[in-house]
Amino acid sequence: MPRIADRRSASRFLLAGLLLWVLVACASQPPGSLDREPQIPAEVSNAEWAQDMQRFAAQDQAQPPPRDAVLFVGSSSIRLWDSLAQDFPDAVVINRGFGGSEVRDSTWYADRIVYPYHPSTVVLYAGDNDLANGRTAEQVGQDTATFIDRVHKRLPSARIVIISTKPSPSRAHLLEAQRQANALVQRAAQQRGAVFVDVFTPMLDAQGQPRESLFIQDRLHMNASGYALWKQLLAPYVH
């Protein structure tokens, strides 16, 4: 009988040890990464983005970018940020924005514009094109979650920074949808250990409308003042 009791005690000890190992392993994973296999979007929003991918590939071949840089991806607000390197002189930055793109496009092309650079930080801006093109706030939130999951799966140590959608005067009719999308995106980012940066609120005036002084004549894209504001808000995470 004592030998049977000893074996039972040993079994309980081994089981407890195994359970402790599982708990430690789970704690070491990025938040939200367990039991989740990121899905590549079914399609891109526009097949013409393939031309941008070819352009990026040519640039990389002519001048291979360094590893561990801060990578900016997303739509035209990223693509048109011409002063990016000057605004963050203490960081090595790579700009891989392609105008008109949606969140799912950066996810689709992650193997072309994210993984090859092995960035230390990935900054994504997209979402207002999505809403303007008819996607819902819920879809923007889910698409952003998928982007975070896919990047974290291959680059678990990379910091991911998600910029909220900006309130543009020409798209003021989307303000409520943007608020809803931003709330869902913020929750998705927090659940997955990503950083959420709110540019929406600081870009509103006292009446809750987009600040015209931050935009060029098309009332959609930002001027130097708009980018100066973004620089200030992103500075803690770009280094």
On whether residue 38 sits in a domain, the answer given is no
Examine the domain organization and report whether 134 and 24 are in the same domain. Answer: no
Examine the domain organization and report whether 65 and 21 are in the same domain. Answer: no
Examine the domain organization and report whether 21 and 50 are in the same domain. Answer: no
Structure confidence at residue 40 (pLDDT) = 75
- Amino acid residing at 23: L
Examine the domain organization and report whether 138 and 205 are in the same domain. Answer: yes
Structure tokens given for 9: 């005690």
Structure confidence at residue 41 (pLDDT) = 78
What is the β-pairing status of strands 121-125 and 93-97? Answer: unpaired
Residue pLDDT tens, the chain, 239 long: 445 445 455 445 444 444 444 333 444 344 444 345 567 777 788 888 999 999 999 999 999 999 999 999 999 999 999 999 999 999 999 999 998 999 999 999 999 999 999 999 999 999 999 999 999 999 999 999 999 999 999 999 999 999 999 999 999 999 999 999 999 999 999 999 999 999 999 999 999 999 999 999 999 999 999 999 999 999 999 98
Examine the domain organization and report whether 199 and 128 are in the same domain. Answer: yes
Reported pTM: 0.84
Please count the structural domains in the chain. 2
User: In this structure, what are the phi and psi dihedrals at residue 68, rounded to the nearest 5 degrees?
Assistant: 60, 25
Structure confidence at residue 48 (pLDDT) = 87
On whether residue 98 sits in a domain, the answer given is yes
Structure confidence at residue 20 (pLDDT) = 42
Residue 62, CB half-sphere, CA atoms under 13 Å: how many? 6
Examine the domain organization and report whether 7 and 51 are in the same domain. Answer: no
Structure confidence at residue 93 (pLDDT) = 98
Structural domain of 5: 1-30
Examine the domain organization and report whether 107 and 19 are in the same domain. Answer: no
CA 38 to each of CA 29, 114, 120, 150, 151: distance values in angstroms, whole numbers, following the listed order: 15, 15, 20, 5, 9
Examine the domain organization and report whether 15 and 50 are in the same domain. Answer: no
On whether residue 134 sits in a domain, the answer given is yes
What is the β-pairing status of strands 70-74 and 121-125? Answer: parallel
Structure confidence at residue 111 (pLDDT) = 94
Separation of alpha carbons 145 and 166, rounded Å:
18
Examine the domain organization and report whether 19 and 54 are in the same domain. Answer: no
Examine the domain organization and report whether 92 and 129 are in the same domain. Answer: yes
On whether residue 39 sits in a domain, the answer given is no
Examine the domain organization and report whether 60 and 1 are in the same domain. Answer: no
Examine the domain organization and report whether 18 and 109 are in the same domain. Answer: no
